[in-house]
Structure 1
Amino acid sequence: MGSRRQSAGPAPAGRRRLPLLLVEAATLLSGIGNGVATVALPWLVLERTGSPTAAGIVAAATALPLLISSLFSGTVVDLIGRKRTSIFSDAFSALSVAAIPILDATVGLNIGAIVALAVLGAVFDPAGLTARETLLPAAAQAAGWRIERANSIHEAVWGAAFLIGPGVGGVLIAAIGPERTLWVTASGFVLSIVLVAAVRLPGAGRPEQRPAGIWRGTVEGLAFVWRDRLLRTIALLTMALVALYLPAEGVVLPAYFVEQGAPSRLGTIVMAMSAGGIVGALLYGGLGPRIRRRTAFVVALIGTGIALVGLAALPPYPAMIVLAAATGLMYGPINPLANYAMQTRTPEHLRGRVVGVMTSSAYAAGPAGYLLAGPLVEWLGVRPAFLVLAVVLLVVALAAIPLPALRALDEPPAYPPAPIGAAPLDEGPVPLGEQWISSARRDQPDDD
């Protein structure tokens, strides 16, 4: 195998970039499909029942399963493989949304069936997201890209999908109705399956080292994250950030614009935050090699806090748009940097579990923040509650400055990617997969 690696030269440019293009195109289609479904399903329920409560039940049904399934999603990826997991995830999504118009046209549709199908479609989404994310290092290596650049593009694509999806959903509902919109959504998931099936990368197929089971594998992932000081620190910081950031978008700003009698402005503010996040991720992809990763991470945290404090002052609407965009812009580099830490400090056979654990911590933090923000707004009012959330976020960001664990972001990768051209473009199994593991570091994280 050593001679094979030595003799393998870089693949032609078109072929080398194709796996990355396929992964990102599938990510875009799957994300847009989920974004469309978040609009189409509540709309369909409101159209049929006229009940906002019923629409809320459907929305909750698509969100609550993520709290549990995201924790085990990485173990599923490490157990059955990255491509298979991504394909199965999109297949369940396609089946769930296609089944709704089928049932409607045959035996009839009720709220219970919609809830059950919404759960079926949502419960495997974290596994698909994790699977595509774990393909990134090999795809970047095949394309000759730095992993930071691939991470930035990936986060920008994901953000763009959820920026585009709800808008596309609204347009399709108006043009062809919610039932036909769901058929279009199912077609997008099917196309995502086709794209992922065409991916040829080391480590994409059947895993060489599988976890002993769902529960034991998940515990191994949790233990690895907790023992590694950098991953543990990033997980805790991200949880705090999500718990304070998401309620601003999902609770406080809606309450403010309802009070102002201008709910239509909410969409513009949320879009400005999302667009800023896309630009921020892309900018980091271009500027990343010129700045230290720890510096970029801390500046992003502090910048997010400062911009959010400005937004929390609830200035005139034009200024709010600018500050919302600035908040997203500063937030943009955080996820690519967190991805980099997971990819370079985790052995390949554990990567799915580590990504799943880190993702589940963010999923859990969001609802916790919502539960905090609602009573806070009722107790203090919109502006004071918003300022409390923003100031606490800024304090958390400032507290990250002296943390020694973040210095590890600039250390040499514990599990670096294989040299360009060193790994064959098949889907394995190959020893070491896409990673080139030093003799000083195997499966144990740093505890210093």
Structure 2
Amino acid sequence: MSTSRWTAVLPDLAPWRSSRDFRLLFYQGTVTYFGSFMAMIALPLQIKHLTDSPLAVGAMGAVELVPLVVFGLYGGALADAVDRRRMILLTEAGLGVLALVLLVNALLPDPLLWPLYVVAAGVSALAGLQRPALDSLMARIVPHDQLTAAAALNGLRYQFGAILGPALAGLVVAYAGHASAYAVTVAGFLGSVVLCSRLSPAPPVEGAERPSLRGIAEGARYAWSRPVLLGTYAVDLAAMLFAFPNTIFPFLADELDAVWALGLMYAAGAVGSMVLGLTSGWVSRVRRHGLLVVLGATVWGLAIAAAGVSPGIWPVLLCLAVAGAADMLSGLGRATIWNQTIPEELRGRLAGIEVLSYSVGPQLGQVRAGTMAGWTGTRPAFWSGGLACVASVAVLAALLPKLISYDADTDEDAQRRRAAREAEPV
């Protein structure tokens, strides 16, 4: 294959070359995601070990939901009013403290159940505060025409942690215990805090308002008035609500007599996403990002449904990998539309709504999957959710046709944001 063809396929590294802060966030995210995924797998496994109940595992999503909603919205307003670098640094340190609590609890002779739920709620609250600051920073530190490439590279750093973290977490928990997995998480947050401290200051725009309910409502009104944005939120929420069965992976592994493959099940989606990310050079040339959102969400639902009826562990892993690639495709479309169209003065508040759209869905999805698995069995919880996802995405696409017709070269909001970015001082 010629050099030009390789360039057309391999990830676009332009954001890496043009922005020091992007490189720092890439390193920080790689370290944090690896440690976080270790804890993300160890925590439900520990609840399963203590209770042997799918409802108890699914309840973790319910515990996380309210803090995520409240602090996600407030975090978005706060990100528009304070230095985003300082906000990221403080919340990252707080997450490290919560990981330390998990470690101490796991080292007790008889680990307690209730601290696991308390920490899950605390992590949800701090993540809700942090993610708007992180997401809204990207459009400031990366040139406008490199935003899709930046989203693809961000996806790769996430997938690195999502592959290695779960794959190793299953082995670490099985052979060294939950405490060892939590220790890796604590070490990851320590490294992340050091990297965050080196980011450039990111003060708010001149005349930024203090966080308030009125400011949050202003952001919500803006999102509601933009059918394209509304479509990205609604499609992602529906896909995660109906087809996010990760919380019941341990029970499907038991049914397939493949407990040894539990870590692979958690990592399979990330493998699919990474394959797409490593071949994402073509995505930088796409202009119809709304189509990516709808297509990715539809394939995601079909793949989850297929996993629910697959006869063995290897077909299940293949379906989960396809689902991960589809989710990555949809995510690239969403991130590009958000960063290309939202004004800087509203980025934090809209990023708070974004946090709700792609975080509340998985939390509700965990509750749905765990509850349905408890009522009807594990496999019906998979295939029924996948089919419901496909149906809901089709309805939303019909109700919001502007999402399908979005074009980065002609959309008025995208043109306005491009002009504002080009007018900013270098």
TM-score exceeds 0.5: yes
Do 1:230 and 1:409's aligned partners in 2 also have CA atoms closer than 8 Å? no
Q: How far is the alpha carbon of 1:85 from its aligned partner? A: 1.2
Q: Distance in 1 between matches of 2:105 and 2:320?
A: 42
Deviations 1:315-353 (A, max 9, x none): 443333222212211221111211122212211121111
Q: How far is the alpha carbon of 1:180 from its aligned partner? A: 6.3
Please say if 1:387 is aligned against 2:383. Answer: yes
Matched residue type, 1:186:
V
The one of 240, 246, 254 aligned to 2:238:
240
Residue of structure 2 equivalent to 1:297: 293
Residue of structure 1 equivalent to 2:273: 277
Map 1:148-227 onto structure 2 (within 5 A).
Answer: 148-169=148-169, 179=179, 182-200=182-200, 204-227=202-225
Q: Secondary structure at the match of 1:146?
A: helix
Residue of structure 2 equivalent to 1:288: 284
> Taking structure 1 as reference, are residues 74 and 290 closer, same or farther at Cα in structure 2, changes over 3 Å only?
closer
Q: Distance in 2 between matches of 1:239 and 1:416?
A: 28
Map 1:311-330 onto structure 2 (within 5 A).
Answer: 311-330=307-326
Please say if 1:337 is aligned against 2:323. Answer: no
> Taking structure 1 as reference, are residues 283 and 68 closer, same or farther at Cα in structure 2, changes over 3 Å only?
farther
Aligned length: 404
Q: Distance in 2 between matches of 1:15 and 1:325?
A: 30
Q: Distance in 1 between matches of 2:47 and 2:292?
A: 44
Which is further off, 15-24 or 227-236?
15-24
Matched residue type, 1:160:
F
Q: Distance in 2 between matches of 1:391 and 1:114?
A: 32
> Taking structure 1 as reference, are residues 122 and 29 closer, same or farther at Cα in structure 2, changes over 3 Å only?
farther
Q: How far is the alpha carbon of 1:386 from its aligned partner? A: 3.3
Q: How far is the alpha carbon of 1:20 from its aligned partner? A: 1.1
The one of 70, 73, 87 aligned to 2:72:
70
Please say if 1:28 is aligned against 2:30. Answer: yes
Matched residue type, 2:359:
Y
Do 2:85 and 2:200's aligned partners in 1 also have CA atoms closer than 8 Å? no
Q: Distance in 2 between matches of 1:272 and 1:218?
A: 37
Q: Distance in 2 between matches of 1:112 and 1:382?
A: 25
Q: Distance in 1 between matches of 2:305 and 2:96?
A: 41
Do 2:58 and 2:367's aligned partners in 1 also have CA atoms closer than 8 Å? no
> Taking structure 1 as reference, are residues 350 and 192 closer, same or farther at Cα in structure 2, changes over 3 Å only?
same
Residue of structure 2 equivalent to 1:430: none
> Taking structure 1 as reference, are residues 206 and 360 closer, same or farther at Cα in structure 2, changes over 3 Å only?
same
Do 1:134 and 1:352's aligned partners in 2 also have CA atoms closer than 8 Å? yes
> Taking structure 1 as reference, are residues 80 and 118 closer, same or farther at Cα in structure 2, changes over 3 Å only?
same
Residue of structure 1 equivalent to 2:247: 250
Structure 2 unaligned blocks of 5 or more: 1-14
Do 1:38 and 1:59's aligned partners in 2 also have CA atoms closer than 8 Å? no
Q: Secondary structure at the match of 2:417?
A: coil
Do 2:76 and 2:353's aligned partners in 1 also have CA atoms closer than 8 Å? yes
Residue of structure 2 equivalent to 1:81: 83
Do 1:70 and 1:363's aligned partners in 2 also have CA atoms closer than 8 Å? no
Do 2:64 and 2:120's aligned partners in 1 also have CA atoms closer than 8 Å? no
Do 1:92 and 1:120's aligned partners in 2 also have CA atoms closer than 8 Å? no
Q: How far is the alpha carbon of 1:52 from its aligned partner? A: 5.5
Q: How far is the alpha carbon of 1:33 from its aligned partner? A: 2.6
Please say if 1:405 is aligned against 2:402. Answer: yes
Please say if 1:310 is aligned against 2:306. Answer: yes
Q: Distance in 2 between matches of 1:237 and 1:393?
A: 9
Deviations 1:42-99 (A, max 9, x none): 677899xx56679959956973433432232212222222111110111111223335
Q: CA RMSD in A?
A: 3.8
Matched residue type, 1:199:
L
> Taking structure 1 as reference, are residues 163 and 131 closer, same or farther at Cα in structure 2, changes over 3 Å only?
farther
Q: Secondary structure at the match of 2:258?
A: coil
The two structures have a TM-score, normalised by structure 2, of: 0.79
The structure whose Rg is larger is: 1
Do 1:308 and 1:324's aligned partners in 2 also have CA atoms closer than 8 Å? yes
Do 2:295 and 2:330's aligned partners in 1 also have CA atoms closer than 8 Å? no
Q: How far is the alpha carbon of 1:131 from its aligned partner? A: 1.8
Q: Distance in 1 between matches of 2:142 and 2:262?
A: 37
Q: Secondary structure at the match of 2:342?
A: coil
Q: From the two aligned structures, give the one with the greater helix fraction.
A: 2
> Taking structure 1 as reference, are residues 396 and 288 closer, same or farther at Cα in structure 2, changes over 3 Å only?
farther
Structure 1 unaligned blocks of 5 or more: 1-12, 425-448
Residue of structure 1 equivalent to 2:255: 259
Which is further off, 89-98 or 281-290?
281-290
Do 1:246 and 1:370's aligned partners in 2 also have CA atoms closer than 8 Å? yes
> Taking structure 1 as reference, are residues 181 and 363 closer, same or farther at Cα in structure 2, changes over 3 Å only?
closer
Residue of structure 2 equivalent to 1:416: 418
Deviations 1:230-288 (A, max 9, x none): 111111111111111203x333x544433333333343233222211232344445433
Do 1:148 and 1:285's aligned partners in 2 also have CA atoms closer than 8 Å? no
Q: How far is the alpha carbon of 1:405 from its aligned partner? A: 1.5
Which is further off, 84-93 or 389-398?
389-398
The one of 129, 132, 150 aligned to 2:131:
129
Q: Distance in 2 between matches of 1:74 and 1:188?
A: 25
Q: Secondary structure at the match of 1:246?
A: coil
> Taking structure 1 as reference, are residues 306 and 183 closer, same or farther at Cα in structure 2, changes over 3 Å only?
closer
Do 2:83 and 2:204's aligned partners in 1 also have CA atoms closer than 8 Å? yes
Residue of structure 2 equivalent to 1:347: 343
